[in-house]
Amino acid sequence: MARMYAKRKGKSGSTKPHNDSAPEWSNNDSSAVTALIVELGKSGHSSAAIGTILRDQHAVPDVRAVLGGKRIAAILIENDIGGTYPEDMMNLMRKAVGIIHHLGSGNHKDLHNKRSLELTEAKIRRLAKYYIGEGRLPSDWKYKRDQLRLMVE
């Protein structure tokens, strides 16, 4: 698949090996793993950080294999933990806030970052369209650059 905003072709990412079950050495107790996820979510970690902590400190290489196909984000949503926006969209909004701050602090001629802001905002709008269709954002949600800092904080 080609890159959307570059002239080069790009490569697809690597895929995980197909395994139906977790390894023998891993932590296979689903209730303990769920409790760890809830505890780490309440302490303010993102789902990506929770997965890294479970892998590195608690011997859980694949949460979905232990929990029967459930993702970390699904468990956080079930327990009413997490922000109002999905994690990937929030990361893009933080990136856009940083670029806006850069452009506003005396770098208004930085054409490369002006373009990267446009591309980031386009990604946010595409993700918003997807999440509105999925029901994770309200149907009247719009991206507004002047209110972005309030949404991120």
pLDDT tens for 96-131 read: 999 999 999 999 999 999 999 999 999 999 999 999
What was the pLDDT predicted at 1?
Answer: 46
Q: Which residue has the higher pLDDT, 83 or 148?
A: 148
Q: Which CATH superfamily is domain 87-152 in?
A: S15/NS1, RNA-binding (1.10.287.10)
Domain boundaries, the chain: 30-78, 87-152
Structure tokens at 40: 């780490």
Give residue 153's pLDDT band: very low, low, confident or very high (50, 70, 90): confident
Q: Return the HEC string of the chain.
A: CCCCCCCCCCCCCCCCCCCCCCCCCCCCCHHHHHHHHHHHHHCCCCHHHHHHHHHHHCCCCCHHHHCCCCCHHHHHHHCCCCCCCCHHHHHHHHHHHHHHHHHHCCCCCCHHHHHHHHHHHHHHHHHHHHHHHHCCCCCCCCCCHHHHHHHHC
Looking at 1-5, 22-26, 54-58, 123-127, which range is the least confident one? 1-5
Q: Is residue 1 a contact partner of residue 8, using CB atoms and an 8 Å limit?
A: no
Q: Is residue 85 a contact partner of residue 93, using CB atoms and an 8 Å limit?
A: yes
**pLDDT per residue as tens digits for the range 61-79:** 889 888 888 999 899 989 9
**pLDDT per residue as tens digits for the range 37-65:** 999 999 989 899 999 999 999 989 889 88
What was the pLDDT predicted at 69?
Answer: 86
Q: Is residue 81 a contact partner of residue 67, using CB atoms and an 8 Å limit?
A: no
